[in-house]
Structure formats: C-alpha cells, structure tokens
C-alpha cells in the first residue's frame, strides 16, 4: 500500500509544479510576447532640430549617398552645422567649366547650399536664393549651390529651368557632402568673411530663415525676407 501512496504523492507533486511553472510564464509575459532582454535597447532615433524639414537623403534615388553609417553629430567638432568652426574644405568642378574653391572666396560672405535636382524643396528654394543673391551682390555676397552625385547635363538643365544666377558645383562622388556632414538635402551653411561658419539650416526653408542666416554673415546690413 505504501508504494502506491508514494506514487500518487509523486504524481500530485509533479502536476502542481507544472501548474506553477505555467502560471509564472503567464505572469511574466501576460500578452504572450517575449520580455525585452535586459541590456538591449531599441535602435536610436535620428533627431532633427525642430523647425527643420529634411527633404531627401543626400543622394539621388537608387544610389548610395554619404549618409550611410552617419548621423548629424558625425562631423568635426560634434556640431550639426560646424557653427563657430572654420568651414570644411570645398573644391569641386563648376557646371559650365572652371572650379569652385571656397578658400579663394575668403574675405567675402558665402552661402553654401547642398542640393539635388530631384529634391522638391531644392526646386522651391532656388528662386528665393536667386532673389537674395541679386539683392545682396553689392554687399559681396556669394551664393554657391553644390549638387550631389548627378550628371552635369542634368544639373545644367535644372539651373537653366530656374534661371539660377549663382554658380553650381558638382560633388560627383559625394565626398564634399560627407566632409560637411550634409546627410539630408537641402542643407544650408552661412560662412563669414573670415571663413567661419556662422549659421546653418536644414531645408526646405523659407525667406525668413534665409534672411536670418544671411544676417549672421552680413553684419551691419539690414537683411529682409
């Protein structure tokens, strides 16, 4: 008789242990999903400054642009726009012939815009940039657009269609955009006469932001939208 009692007790104990185990699983994960493993976090979210609307990745559709493996903070000095720092080097071929060399423009205020012809915000900004370039040419302002990874013919046609009055450079391999941290398009940099970046903005922007940026490199000049 005692052996039979021992068997019954063993069966009861096993069933109780199984019930307890199932209950513990339900308590730990009541919705049936696995718990997050301690020490693992969700992928970081790319933070874009408020008031800015990045329009496109810094490469034409179907190509690999300089944004691969980068983030806005991944530029020298840790700043998104290099504000307060000497502007990075910029030497690129110019549409129509010649070269654009930022170093040769030292002594003049310069507005650098990285763009792409396929970018809607870039298309919207060009007429506004034309207006500012014309109005403040007497103040030595130089406006320069840098197209990323597109053929010269495409860019030249784009410039003609929008009557661009400022020079456009060709960043054929995306190296200039990477150096400047231009991972979204359009992006703007305002550089003073000493070659120091004083302001920057992610596009698309309107005349108010453009005027604000120009005001940082045209001291003593009343810049209006």
Token readout for 153 is 């013919």
Reported as half-sphere exposure (CB side, CA atoms, 13 A), residue 59 has a value of 14
Task: Identify whether the C-beta of residue 124 lies closer than 8 Å to the C-beta of residue 113.
Answer: no
Q: For residue 20, give every residue at least 6 positions away whose Cβ sits within 8 Å of its Cβ, in sequence order, or none.
A: none
Give the DSSP letter of residue 85.
Answer: S
Tell me how far apart the terminal alpha carbons of the chain are, to the nearest angstrom. 101
Among 3.30.70.920, 3.40.30.10, 3.30.1490.20, 3.30.70.20, name the CATH number for the domain at 56-215. Answer: 3.40.30.10
In this structure, of 69-73, 84-88, 166-170, the range with the lowest mean pLDDT score is 69-73
pLDDT in tens, 111-134: 999 999 999 999 999 999 999 999
pLDDT in tens, 16-25: 444 343 344 3
């Amino acid at each position: 008789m005692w052996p039979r009692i021992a068997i019954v007790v063993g069966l009861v104990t096993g069933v109780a242990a199984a019930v307890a185990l199932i209950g513990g699983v339900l308590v730990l994960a009541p919705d049936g999903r696995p718990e997050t493993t301690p020490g693992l976090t969700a992928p970081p979210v790319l933070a874009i400054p408020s008031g800015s609307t990045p329009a496109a990745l810094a490469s034409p559709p179907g190509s690999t642009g300089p944004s691969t493996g980068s983030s806005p903070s991944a530029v020298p000095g840790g700043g998104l726009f290099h504000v307060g720092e000497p502007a990075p080097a910029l030497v690129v071929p110019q549409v129509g012939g010649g070269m654009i060399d930022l170093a040769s423009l030292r002594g003049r205020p310069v507005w650098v815009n990285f763009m792409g012809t396929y970018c809607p915000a870039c298309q919207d900004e060009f007429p506004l940039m034309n207006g500012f370039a014309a109005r403040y040419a007497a103040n030595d302002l130089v406006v320069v657009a840098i197209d990323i990874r597109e053929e010269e013919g495409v860019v030249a046609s784009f410039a003609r269609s929008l009557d661009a009055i400022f020079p456009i450079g060709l960043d054929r391999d995306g190296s200039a955009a990477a150096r400047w941290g231009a991972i979204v398009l359009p992006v703007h940099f305002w550089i003073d006469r000493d070659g120091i970046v004083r302001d920057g903005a992610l596009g698309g922007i309107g005349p108010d932001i453009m005027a604000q940026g120009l005001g940082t490199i045209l001291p003593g000049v009343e810049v209006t939208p």
